[in-house]
Structures are given as C-alpha cells and as structure tokens.
C-alpha cells in the first residue's frame, strides 16, 4: 500500500503548506490516537503518548494541535517541551507509553517543520501502523464522548531524566576532567541538556548555539554549519568541538586543529574502539554514501562492513537483519543499538570521548586511522525521476568509469527521493581523476535524461 503523507522520516514540509498545517496535524493526532488506542488494547503499553519538540516557533502551534487530536481520540498525553528526538524515544520506552511523537524538521531551517513517531520500543513506527494512520485520515474525525477523552500533563523533569540516561552510557571508570569542549547546540532541542551532560562528567564546556528564539534554529550553527564551531575551538584552544543538529540526533566533531570530523570518521572511531576494548565489533552498517576509506579501514581491522540505502531507517533495518549493533551515516547519524534505539548525537559524542580517554589519544590522532578517499557528487536536473542505469548510454559510461577505477573507487548514480534530480557520485584515490569522471558522467546523464 502506498503512503500519501509518511516518508522515510515521518511527515515533513514547509509550515503553512499542506500537509504541515494546524488542521491537518489536528486530524493526524486524532488518526494516530485511533490506531494507537487499538495498540494499547492489544499490548501492555500505557494509554499514553509522549510529545517533544525542537525550538521552532511553529512547534507551539503543532504541539497544541497534536494534543487536541490525541485527546479527542481518547489517549492521554505527556508534554516534554523542547527535547531532543532521542530523548523522546528514550522516555517513550521508560514510561511504557504506546508511542512518542517529535515535532521537528531536524537540520532544516525554521520555516519547515515535521512530525515523527516512535513506537513503544522507541523505534520508528512499522510501515503497517503508518498505513493504518493514513487510512484513518481518509475518514471523518469524530470526537469521543467527554467520559472517554484523554488527559494532558507536563513532564517537568524530562530534561534531568535524559541527562542521567546519557551519562549512564559513559564508562563509569572514566570522566572528562581536564578536557575543554565547545558544544554547539544549533539553537535547537539540545540547548539545555547537552552542555549539562558534558559538564557533569567533568569537562570544561564552552557553549555555542544555546539561545533559541524560535527563528534561529540551525542558522549558521550546528552540524550542517560547522564554521562557527571551528572558529570557537581555535579561539578557546579547545581539545575538540561537538556540533549537534536542531533535534539532536546528528553529530559532527571538530578536532583541536579545527579540522572537521564527519560521520564516517566518527563511525570508524567508535567501531575501532569497540573492536579493541569490547572483545571485537561484529560488524558495521554504513550507507551507499559512506566513504570507501572507512570500509577499507574497517576491513583492515577485520570488521565486516555493509551498505544500506541512504537514511537512518534503512541503516536500522540492515542492523536488525544482520544482528549487528553499530551503524551510521556520513551526515552524523550514529546508531549504537547497545544503548539506544535511534541516532543520538550526545550519546555518540560520549562514545567518541570514551575512545579518546581509553587510548589517551586526541581526536586528531584517532581519526588518522582512516584515510578518506576524494569524493564528488554532482546533482543533475532531469525531466522525471527514473533509474539512470536503465539508460544504455548511461550504464555504459558507468561501466567504463568503474573499469578505470580498477576496484579502488566507486560510482553511484541514484535518483533523489524528493526532487527531479539524479545524484552522480564518484569516489577514488586521485581527486583530479574523480572530478574528471564525475563531470563526464554528469554530462552523459544530462544529455540522455534532462
């Protein structure tokens, strides 16, 4: 069954443009409440939904709409206020709620917003549940009798609970004393909890991006805009910098020289530390965009590596399929299933810091274990989204480049999931050859499909 609203990461779009409107979100809350109410009757979950949000101005509006819809369907609601996405997943589990909902558009600007659901286990909702919600959306909204309406409370200590959880994932025999860390919260959902976690473990914390005003989320700060963090690390002589995104599920770091350490390198650092200290790493899941250098470095350690489609949803699916516990994306989604059910920027940062402390090595030294290959992506606008390899000329050109790379590089052509674009990516050891091959392939794709 196709879905009209749910994408790979919930429902997201521009505020005021369907479906990101108050009337739709009201009905979405009611439809979800109808479906989740049946889940309560069929399980041991409580008749409770937990709602968190990031710091966008529109979050107030959508929080109220969701609350009203869920209550109208007979479910109780607990409001967290601004709280990271992984915190909502964690609190959903610990309170045995039937579901958690996050109001956020992650790393997008404030003009966008979205709705993301977690199951009672703190994982993404199964496809069949999303399909049931969409089926309810197609019908009329009916409010329950007053005797069957839900109740609403506010969880006053949500931040403290999550801070303690994050700290519990850091080895008890270690601390962060003596480290100076710049923490960039992107003016987003982590602005209160993230600095507290690192400070309470002993670090000297320089705060950045902790003054949200409803409009400045991700603006010039955070994991997608590391320039401010780089400048702060250099200015303060910090040991490292930590950049989170607007909802706190992504992590990008900066070493003591101001060099950016992306999700691929962080994934390698965590995997290598686990391999050394925890009796081996069973395997790591990356994506089609993960740098080949990471795969080769892990292979050198004897750690298996597999690639999922782009998107943390697909990383999670492959982790479950293989029974592995560690995966991630170049963008900074790092998933440590031994302690969390979803990507968590703060927890991932603590894993990196544990690797630094365990080996007595700086982030700069740890990242030296992987040599990233030059990689170039060119977006080619096309008439319609289609499989580019179905075109004979394109397929032939790809084969020629793969032959030229001789097993020391990769070619990836994929249609964008949201725009009429073909993404042309080439990766190899020589940057000039990579640029030449990518430009030639983009020209063929443009001439055949544009």
Coil, helix or strand for 447?
helix
Same fold, 11-157 and 177-260: yes
* Residue 241 CB partners (closer than 8 Å, separation 6+): 181, 182, 183, 184, 226, 229, 230, 232, 233, 253, 254
Contact 409, 434 (CB under 8 A): yes
DSSP sequence for 125-144? PPHHHHHHHHHHHTS---PP
pTM of the model: 0.93
Coil, helix or strand for 94?
helix
Give the pLDDT confidence score for residue 2 in this predicted structure: 59
Report strand pairing: 284-287 vs 260-261.
unpaired
Coil, helix or strand for 283?
coil
Bridge partners of 113, per DSSP, are 13
Span 171-227, pLDDT tens digits: 999 999 999 999 999 999 999 999 999 999 999 999 999 999 999 999 999 999 999
Angle separating helix axes 193-200 and 158-168, nearest 10 degrees: 40
Tokens standing for 352? 């990196």
* Catalytic status, residue 106: yes
Contact 341, 94 (CB under 8 A): no
Contact 135, 129 (CB under 8 A): no
CA distances from 432 to 3, 413, 429 (A): 43, 19, 9
Measured CA to CA, the distance from residue 429 to residue 412 in angstroms comes to 16
Based on its alpha-carbon atoms, the radius of gyration of the chain, rounded to whole angstroms, reads 22
Give the pLDDT confidence score for residue 263 in this predicted structure: 97
CA distances from 249 to 86, 225, 361 (A): 6, 15, 25
Which residue would you say has higher pLDDT here, 369 or 417?
369
- Looking at domain 375-449, what is its CATH homologous superfamily? Alpha-D-phosphohexomutase, C-terminal domain (3.30.310.50)
Q: Does 372 have pLDDT greater than 90?
A: yes
Give the pLDDT confidence score for residue 371 in this predicted structure: 93
Coil, helix or strand for 118?
strand
Task: Report residue 3's pLDDT band, with 50, 70 and 90 as the boundaries.
Answer: confident
Report strand pairing: 284-287 vs 11-14.
unpaired
Contact 28, 18 (CB under 8 A): no
Span 262-305, pLDDT tens digits: 999 999 999 999 999 877 899 999 999 999 999 999 999 999 99
Tokens standing for 223? 């994991």
Report strand pairing: 326-328 vs 284-287.
parallel
Bridge partners of 97, per DSSP, are 46
Measured CA to CA, the distance from residue 329 to residue 332 in angstroms comes to 6
Coil, helix or strand for 1?
coil
Q: Return left, alpha or beta for 389; rule: phi > 0 is left, psi -120 to 50 is alpha, else beta.
A: alpha
Task: Report residue 10's pLDDT band, with 50, 70 and 90 as the boundaries.
Answer: very high
Contact 132, 143 (CB under 8 A): no
Span 300-344, pLDDT tens digits: 999 999 999 988 889 999 999 999 999 999 999 999 999 999 999
Measured CA to CA, the distance from residue 363 to residue 122 in angstroms comes to 31
Question: Which of the four CATH numbers 3.40.120.10, 3.40.50.620, 3.40.605.10, 3.40.190.10 does domain 11-157 have?
Answer: 3.40.120.10
* Residue 300 CB partners (closer than 8 Å, separation 6+): none
| Closest C-alpha to 7, from 19, 21, 25, 24 | 19
- Please compute the mean of the pLDDT values over residues 79-103 and round it to a whole number: 97
Cis peptide before 19 (omega within 30 of 0): yes
Give the pLDDT confidence score for residue 418 in this predicted structure: 65
Question: Whole-angstrom distance between the N-terminal and C-terminal Cα of the chain?
Answer: 30
Q: What percent of the chain has pLDDT over 90?
A: 90
Q: Does 112 have pLDDT greater than 60?
A: yes
Among the listed residues 78, 106, 119, 330, the single catalytic one is 106
Contact 23, 32 (CB under 8 A): no
Span 407-437, pLDDT tens digits: 889 999 988 766 789 999 999 999 999 999 9
Which residue would you say has higher pLDDT here, 374 or 408?
374
In a 13 Å sphere around the CA of 397, the CA atoms on its Cβ side amount to: 24
Within 10 angstroms of residue 2's Cβ, the number of other Cβ atoms is 5
Contact 287, 310 (CB under 8 A): yes
Beta-sheet strands, E only, within 120-217: 152-154, 180-184, 204-208
CATH of domain 177-260: 3.40.120.10
Q: What angle do CA 224, 226, 228 make, to 5 degrees?
A: 130
Task: Report residue 441's pLDDT band, with 50, 70 and 90 as the boundaries.
Answer: very high
Measured CA to CA, the distance from residue 244 to residue 84 in angstroms comes to 10
Angle separating helix axes 345-359 and 158-168, nearest 10 degrees: 30
Topology adopted by domain 262-344: Alpha-D-Glucose-1,6-Bisphosphate; Chain A, domain 3 (3.40.120)
Residues recorded for the chain: 450
Domain residue spans of the chain: 11-157, 177-260, 262-344, 375-449
């Amino acid at each position: 069954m196709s879905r009209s609203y749910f994408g790979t990461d919930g429902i997201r779009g521009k505020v005021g443009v369907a479906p990101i409107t108050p009337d739709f979100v009201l009905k979405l809350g009611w439809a979800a409440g109808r479906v989740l109410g049946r889940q309560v009757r069929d399980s041991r979950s409580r008749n409770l939904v937990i709602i968190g949000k990031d710091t966008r101005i529109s979050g107030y509006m959508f929080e109220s709409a969701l609350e009203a819809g869920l209550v109208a369907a007979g479910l109780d609601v607990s409001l967290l206020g601004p709280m990271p996405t992984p915190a909502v997943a964690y609190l959903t589990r610990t309170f045995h709620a039937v579901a958690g909902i996050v109001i956020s558009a992650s790393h997008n600007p404030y003009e966008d917003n979205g709705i993301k659901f977690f199951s009672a286990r703190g994982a993404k909702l199964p496809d069949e549940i999303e399909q049931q919600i969409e089926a309810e959306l197609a019908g009329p909204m009916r409010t329950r009798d007053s005797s069957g309406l839900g109740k609403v409370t506010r969880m006053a200590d949500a931040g403290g609970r999550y801070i303690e959880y994050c700290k519990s994932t850091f080895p008890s025999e270690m601390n962060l004393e003596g480290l100076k860390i710049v923490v960039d919260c992107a003016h987003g959902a982590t602005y209160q909890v993230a600095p507290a976690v690192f400070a309470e473990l002993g670090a000297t914390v320089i705060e950045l991006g902790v003054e949200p005003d409803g409009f400045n989320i991700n603006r010039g700060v955070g994991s997608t805009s590391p320039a401010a963090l780089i400048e702060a690390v250099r200015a303060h002589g910090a040991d490292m910098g930590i950049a989170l995104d607007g909802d706190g599920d992504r992590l990008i770091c900066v070493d003591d020289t101001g060099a950016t350490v992306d999700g691929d390198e962080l994934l390698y650092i965590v995997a290598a530390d686990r391999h050394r200290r925890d009796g081996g790493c069973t395997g790591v899941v990356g994506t089609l965009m993960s740098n080949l250098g990471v795969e080769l470095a892990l292979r050198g350690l004897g750690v298996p590596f597999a690639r999922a489609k782009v998107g943390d949803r697909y990383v999670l699916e492959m982790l479950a399929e293989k029974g592995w516990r560690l995966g991630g994306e170049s963008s900074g989604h790092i998933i440590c299933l031994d302690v969390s059910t979803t990507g968590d920027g703060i927890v991932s940062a603590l894993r990196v810091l544990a690797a630094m402390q365990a080996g007595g090595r700086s982030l700069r030294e740890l990242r030296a274990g992987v040599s990233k290959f030059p990689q170039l992506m060119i977006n080619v606008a096309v008439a319609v989204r289609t499989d580019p390899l179905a075109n004979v000329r394109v397929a032939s050109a790809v084969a020629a480049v793969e032959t030229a790379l001789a097993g020391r590089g990769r070619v990836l052509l994929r249609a964008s999931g949201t725009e009429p674009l073909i993404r042309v990516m080439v990766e190899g050891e020589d940057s000039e050859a990579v640029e030449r091959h990518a430009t030639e392939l983009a020209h063929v794709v443009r001439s055949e499909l544009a």
